[in-house]
């Protein structure tokens, strides 16, 4: 097996985040359960955008957020995702490349670049309304065989498993990665993703195609149809490395029978929890490709997650590499 030239290659949604403050009264008027994530059509996207307060545009998407965090930590990364040949697509490509992530997937004509309207409550909870747009038309032909084979880890974003074209693209990438002797990681991303695709996700695991699984407690419980603790034990028997975040109770990782738990990093004030899980994965994966211990990988993940929830947006603003060095040495 040849040496990898990339640390992590991720396939995911290319989504522009539009983030604005809100209050419970607005969410109630609009019929939006606080903390929920729902898909919307173009008409609803226009309607909600006109009603919400002043917003800021930040390039997002779960896998891309993870890559941006990894690049900040010094990892070599690349992204495969679909944007349109429009203004938001150009901004998205520029932002990701400026963060240090390789992004060469050709633009698509037709559907607009995807966007997520994120309403942030005073307690930092985010209510997400997503127009998927072009992101859900990623074709299998967009997969570069050599690029996939060059990455130590292939990261798949659970949000993108729903539409047939990207699902076919990810299945092709899995085959390439496995033949090249690379690791495949799956991030389940959200409870509704697991509800919708529990059978597929479980089949990937049962077929031995997933080397690393990232989930939160609720997602793990849904995947296994049981309580969270039993789910972690069950998943750890079938996946070589399982990483589960537990909110205010920290996170746990299990690898080859070794189980490690950590508490979250202290945060002076939670501003916006958007991207917390994405950046936790950044830190953990960075530690993993460096060959660090499970505890160190978890701690780096917690440091990255604590940084991103202390400000608006799902991309790091502080020097994560310096933060990790300060806290871990």
Query: Of 294, 315, 323, 309, which is closest to residue 247 (Cα–Cα)?
Result: 309
How far apart CA 255 and CA 121 sit, in angstroms, is: 36
Contacts of 327 (CB under 8 A, 6+ apart): 265, 299, 303
3-state secondary structure 261-287: EECCCCCCCCCCCCCHHHHHHHHHHHH
Contact 201/186 with Cβ under 8 angstroms?
Answer: yes
Convert 295-326 to b/e letters by CB count within 10 Å (16 or more is b): ebbbbbbbbbbbbbbbebbbbbeeebeebbee
Which residue among the candidates 7, 17, 272, 278 is catalytic per the annotation? 278
**Is position 191 annotated as part of the catalytic site?**
no
Contacts of 9 (CB under 8 A, 6+ apart): 77, 78, 79, 80, 147, 148, 150, 151, 153, 154, 155
How far apart CA 102 and CA 76 sit, in angstroms, is: 9
Quick one: DSSP state of residue 53?
-
How far apart CA 165 and CA 169 sit, in angstroms, is: 6
- Rg, the chain, Cα only: 18
Strand order in the sheet with 183-187: 102-103, 77-80, 6-11, 151-157, 183-187, 212-216, 241-245, 251-255, 258-262
Give the residue numbers annotated as catalytic, written as ranges.
278
């Amino acid at each position: 097996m040849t040496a990898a030239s990339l640390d992590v290659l991720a396939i995911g949604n290319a989504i522009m985040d539009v983030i604005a403050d809100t209050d419970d009264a607005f969410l109630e008027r609009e019929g939006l359960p606080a903390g929920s994530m729902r898909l919307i059509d173009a008409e609803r996207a226009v309607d909600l955008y006109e009603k919400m307060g002043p917003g800021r545009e930040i390039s997002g998407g779960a896998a891309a957020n993870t890559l941006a965090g990894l690049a900040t930590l010094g990892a070599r990364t690349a992204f495969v995702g679909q944007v349109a040949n429009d203004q938001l697509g150009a901004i998205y490509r520029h932002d990701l490349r400026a963060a240090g992530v390789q992004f060469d997937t050709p633009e698509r004509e037709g559907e607009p670049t995807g966007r997520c309207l994120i309403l942030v409550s005073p307690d930092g909870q985010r209510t997400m309304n997503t127009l998927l747009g072009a992101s859900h038309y990623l074709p299998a032909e967009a997969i570069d065989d050599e690029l996939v084979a060059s990455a130590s880890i292939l990261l798949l974003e659970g949000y993108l498993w729903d539409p047939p074209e990207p699902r076919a693209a990810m299945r092709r990438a899995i085959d390439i990665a496995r033949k090249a002797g690379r690791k495949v990681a799956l991030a389940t991303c959200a409870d509704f993703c697991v509800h919708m695709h529990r059978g597929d996700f479980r089949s990937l695991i049962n077929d031995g195609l997933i080397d690393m699984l990232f989930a939160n407690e609720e997602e793990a419980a849904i995947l296994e149809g049981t309580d969270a603790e039993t789910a972690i034990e069950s998943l750890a028997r079938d996946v070589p490395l399982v990483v589960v975040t537990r909110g205010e109770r920290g996170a746990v990782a299990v690898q080859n029978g070794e189980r490690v738990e950590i508490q979250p990093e202290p945060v002076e004030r939670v501003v916006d929890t958007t991207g917390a899980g994405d950046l936790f994965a950044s830190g953990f994966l960075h530690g993993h490709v460096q060959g660090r211990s499970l505890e160190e990988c978890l701690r780096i993940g917690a440091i990255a997650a604590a940084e991103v929830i202390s400000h608006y947006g799902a991309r790091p603003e502080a020097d994560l590499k310096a933060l990790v060095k300060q806290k871990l040495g």
